[in-house]
Structure 1
C-alpha cells in the first residue's frame, strides 16, 4: 500500500521570534532600567570636550560653515537654486518616505528599485544609515518623553532638536527591535557602504549635476551640496523638537507630540505629529485632503505606479475615537466654568395641590414635571409678560413645547435655572388623580355606611369622574428627575406633547377633594419649595 501523503503542518502565526532584539525584555523593563542605570554626570566646562560626539558634531557644523563661505564667494545662479530646492525634497523624501515611514514604521511595502532610490536619497541627507536612524526612532516611539527616549522633549527644546547628537547621552537609550531591518538586503547594503554613499550622494552627486549640467561646479557644491544639507538637517530635527512644542493635540494629550501646519511645512509633511504618534503605522501623517503632507502624496503616487503597495491606514473609527475623546476633555474643562441648574435630586417633590396653593403667593409655572419660579423673568419674557402671567399656577408643558411656541435650546437652559421643585407624579396627570379619588371615595363611602341619598350623590360624582376620564391625554411626559442638566427634547416627544389632549381640570375635583378629605383625614403636607 502506498503511504498516505502527509499534510504539511500549518504555520504557527504566534510563534515567538528569539532573534528579536527585545525578546528577553522583562515586563518592568522601563521602570527597572530607569531606576538602575548609571547616568553620566552633568556636562560642565571641565568635561565638555570629553563628552562631545565628534563625528556627528562635525557633520552638523561643517556644512553650515561651507554654506556661509559659498554665500560670500560664489554667486547663486537660478538653475543652481532650483536644483538645490529639488534635491532638498529628494533627500528629504529619502528620510520621510524612506527612513521614517517605510523602514522605521513599515507603513507600506516598496519595490526593490524604490527601496534603492530611497536608500540613496536618505544617504544624501547625511543623517546616518537606515539601520542606525530607525533604531533610534523606534526607541523614541516606544519610550516617548521618558529617560529612555533618545531625544526626549522633556530634556528641552534644543536637546531634542540637536543636542542629543552633539554630546554623549547621560543615560542608555531604550532597547528597540530592528531584527527585520537586519534581514533586508537593501538596508544591509546601505549600512555597510554608508560612508561612501554619504559622501557621494551628499556632496559629489549634487555638484556633478550642477557642474555637468550648466557649468556651476562651485555653486553645486556650496548650495546644492552644503547649504541644502543644512536645510534638510534642520527639517528633520524639527520633527523631534518643534513637533513636540508647537501646535495642538487633537488625538491624545498624554505625551508631547503636536499637530501644526508650520511644522508640516518645514518637515516635508511630518508636522501632524500628534496623529503620527497615535497611529504610527499609518502611511499618512495628515488625514485631511487640505493638510500639507507631500510624503503621503509621494507614497500614494508610487503605489499608482506599481512601485509601492499595502499602504496601511488605521480604521477611521479608531481615529474618530481619539478625536472624540479629546473633544470631550475640552468640553469637560469648559463645563467647569458654567453654572448649571440645581440637580433634580436636590429639589423637593411637591404635590399638585401644594403647587397650586404656593402659586397664589409666587409666580410658579409647571413645565415638563418641574416647578419653576418665573418671577424675575416675567417682564423680560420675549413673548410678553401676559403669556407668563397666564401660565402661573398651571401646567404649561404643551404650550412651552410648541403648542404656543416651540422654544429654543437657550430657552430650555434659561428655564432650567428657575427650577425650584419637582411635581409629584411628573405632571398634573388628571386622569390618574381622578382614579385615585374614585377609589378613595368608594372605599370611604362603604366604610362609613352612607345614606341612600348620599349614595346617589356619590354615584353621580363617580359618573362625572368616569366621563372626565374619557378625555384623558394621549400622552403625559414624566419629569426626567435623574437628569442634572437641560437638553432639548427630541422632536418625536415634542410632537407627542403638542398632540395630546389638554389636561382637564373640572370643578368636580374640588368637590371630590372635600369629600375624600372629610372621610380619609387631612392629606400629607409636601416639603417646602426651594426659595
Structure 2
C-alpha cells in the first residue's frame, strides 16, 4: 500500500484506464470499462496485457536516482529518523506511551476496518459517522487516499502473484514488503474497477483533501492531544506521531509480505497467501490471509472465536451499536468445502509415501484345488477372498506361530474376522500387503459349490451319497449345494447360491474408508464365457515372496 497519493505511480495497463483512474470522480463514472473488448481474447488476459504494455528499462546505478519514488521514499525514511532522534533526546512518559499505542490501533483500524474491509472489499455497510471516522483514521496512517489505496488492493486480489500485482510475492519478500514503494515499477499494474468508490461522497471528500488530512491526523492531532492533555508536546510528536507511524506502516506492509510467506494454506494453495497467528498479531488481525484471499468479501479474517482479529471484533461491535450493518459472511458450506479439499490433497500427498498392496485387478484368480496344492510348498492362507503368502510373518504373529501354521492351506476368513480374534484395521492393512492371488468364488464354500456345479453339469458325480442320477436336474444341483453348505467351516458367513461372489477389497485400497465391511461384489468369474473356461484353471500364483 503506497504511503502518499501519486497519480503517476500506479498507472493502469491501458491509457484509457489510466485516465479513468486519475481524472475527477465525475469523469470516472462515465468512462467505459477498458477491458470490455478483451473478454473474448483467446489468450490469458494477464499475459496479453503484460506483453502489450510499455516497460521501463532495468534499474542500474546510473539511473537509480531517476527511478526512486521520492515522496514515498521520504515518507518511509523520515519517521524512523525522527523516532530515533526523539528516543535520544526526549524521555518517554507513561501517558504518552499509552496514547501512542491507542492511536496506533485507531489508525490501524482506519486501514483494516476502513480502507480494507469496508472500501476495498465492501464486506459491510457503515453509517456516515463511521465512514468519516474511518476516513480520518486512515488518513492518520499516511498510506494514501481511500480511492488510491483500494484501487491498488483490488488489483492485488484480481492479479495475485502475477506481473499485474502491484506487490506480488513472487518478486521477493522485501519487494512485496517495501521495495515496490521505493522505486518505480517496471510495468503498469492491472486494471481494477473503482467506480463505486468514485460515487461515495466520503471517499471523494477524503481524496480531495488528503494532504491536509494526512498532515493533521498523522502528526498534528497526536501531538496536540499529548501537549494539551499532559504537556508532553515533544513526546506527542516523536512517539505518538513519528514512531507510531513507523509501526502502523510496517504493520500494513506485513500483510503484503509476511502474510504471503509465513504460515499454512488450509483453504487453498493455488496462490501464496497464508494463515498465521504471528502475522495476525502484527497486522491488527489481518494474518489469516489464506482465508481472506479465498473469501475476500467476508468481514472476518479469522473465523474461530479464539483467533486474533480485533478488526472483526470492532466491526461486529459497531453493528451492535447501530453504526454498521449487512455484515457479509461466506456460506459455511463453502468454507468447509475449501478446508475439506485441502485436507484431501494433503492426505493424497501423504498416501504417495505409503507402500500399498497389489491391486486386486493385478492378481491371478486361482482354483481351490490349485491353492490347496501350492499351500503344501509354501505358507498360503485364504482370507476374505484373497490368497496370502504369510511365510515371512509366521514367527512375528502376535498370537503365536502355531495359529498361522494351523491356518495354512485353509480358508481362515471366519477366524480372522472374529471367530478366533477380531483383528484391527492395522492387521487388515498388513495382511493386504501379503496378497498373491484371488480365490475363485471368493471363499472355500463358494469354490466347492462351483466345483459341484461343474461336475453336475458334466454328469460326473460329485458325491456318491447325493449325486447318483445319470441325468442332470435342478433338484440334484440344489441337493449338492445344500450338502456343501452343511460342510462349511464354523462361523463362516453363509454363501449365496445364484452367482459366484467375493468380498470387496479391505480399507487399505480405499483411502477414505477406515473400517472394513463385509460387502460382496461379482468376481472375475462373471466374465468367463463358458464352463470350460472355468474348468481350465490355467491361472497360477506368483512366485513366493523373498523372506
Distance in 2 (alpha carbons) for counterparts of 1:524 and 1:91? 85
Cα distance change on mapping 1:307 and 1:41 into 2, 3 Å: same
Cα distance change on mapping 1:403 and 1:144 into 2, 3 Å: same
Normalising by the residue count of structure 2, what TM-score does the alignment of the two structures yield?
0.83
Give the one of 444, 448, 455 matched to 2:459: 444
The residue matched to 1:429 in structure 2 has which SS?
helix
Distance in 2 (alpha carbons) for counterparts of 1:312 and 1:40? 41
Is 1:126 equivalent to 2:142 in the alignment?
yes
Cα distance change on mapping 1:529 and 1:222 into 2, 3 Å: same
| Contact 1:343/1:484 (<8 A) preserved | no
User: Is the deviation greater in 101-110 or in 376-385?
Assistant: 376-385
Instruction: Give ranges in structure 2 of 5+ residues lacking alignment.
Output: 1-28, 521-531
Q: CA deviation at 1:389?
A: 1.6
Cα distance change on mapping 1:151 and 1:441 into 2, 3 Å: closer
Distance in 2 (alpha carbons) for counterparts of 1:367 and 1:470? 18
Match of 2:509 in 1: 485
Is 1:185 equivalent to 2:201 in the alignment?
yes
Cα distance change on mapping 1:24 and 1:490 into 2, 3 Å: closer
Give the one of 210, 223, 239 matched to 1:223: 239
Give the one of 485, 494, 500 matched to 1:474: 494
- CA radius of gyration, larger in: 1
Q: 1:312-335 CA deviation, whole Å, 9 max, x = no partner?
A: 111122112222222222222222
Match of 2:38 in 1: 26
Cα distance change on mapping 1:157 and 1:130 into 2, 3 Å: same
> 5 Å matches for 1:352-391?
352-391=368-407
Distance in 2 (alpha carbons) for counterparts of 1:128 and 1:26? 30
Q: 1:111-148 CA deviation, whole Å, 9 max, x = no partner?
A: 11111110010000000000000000000111111111
> 5 Å matches for 1:261-340?
261-340=277-356
| Contact 2:222/2:237 (<8 A) preserved | yes
Distance in 1 (alpha carbons) for counterparts of 2:270 and 2:59? 30
| Contact 1:269/1:285 (<8 A) preserved | yes
Instruction: Give ranges in structure 1 of 5+ residues lacking alignment.
Output: 1-16, 498-519
Cα distance change on mapping 1:322 and 1:486 into 2, 3 Å: closer
User: Is the deviation greater in 255-264 or in 117-126?
Assistant: 255-264
Is 1:105 equivalent to 2:121 in the alignment?
yes
Match of 2:480 in 1: 465
CA-atom RMSD in angstroms: 2.9
The residue matched to 1:145 in structure 2 has which SS?
coil
Is 1:202 equivalent to 2:218 in the alignment?
yes
Distance in 2 (alpha carbons) for counterparts of 1:59 and 1:438? 93
Cα distance change on mapping 1:333 and 1:89 into 2, 3 Å: same
Q: 1:248-279 CA deviation, whole Å, 9 max, x = no partner?
A: 11111111111111111110011111111111
Q: CA deviation at 1:216?
A: 0.7
The residue matched to 1:530 in structure 2 has which SS?
coil
Match of 2:184 in 1: 168
| Contact 2:507/2:514 (<8 A) preserved | no
Count the aligned residue pairs: 486
Match of 2:529 in 1: none
Give the one of 427, 452, 456 matched to 2:443: 427
Distance in 1 (alpha carbons) for counterparts of 2:68 and 2:483? 96
Distance in 1 (alpha carbons) for counterparts of 2:167 and 2:472? 90
| Contact 2:285/2:308 (<8 A) preserved | yes
User: Is the deviation greater in 293-302 or in 467-476?
Assistant: 467-476
Normalising by the residue count of structure 1, what TM-score does the alignment of the two structures yield?
0.85
Cα distance change on mapping 1:489 and 1:423 into 2, 3 Å: farther
Match of 2:66 in 1: 50
Cα distance change on mapping 1:355 and 1:290 into 2, 3 Å: same
Distance in 2 (alpha carbons) for counterparts of 1:89 and 1:419? 64
| Contact 2:429/2:506 (<8 A) preserved | no
Q: CA deviation at 1:436?
A: 5.8
| Contact 1:416/1:486 (<8 A) preserved | no
Distance in 2 (alpha carbons) for counterparts of 1:331 and 1:52? 48
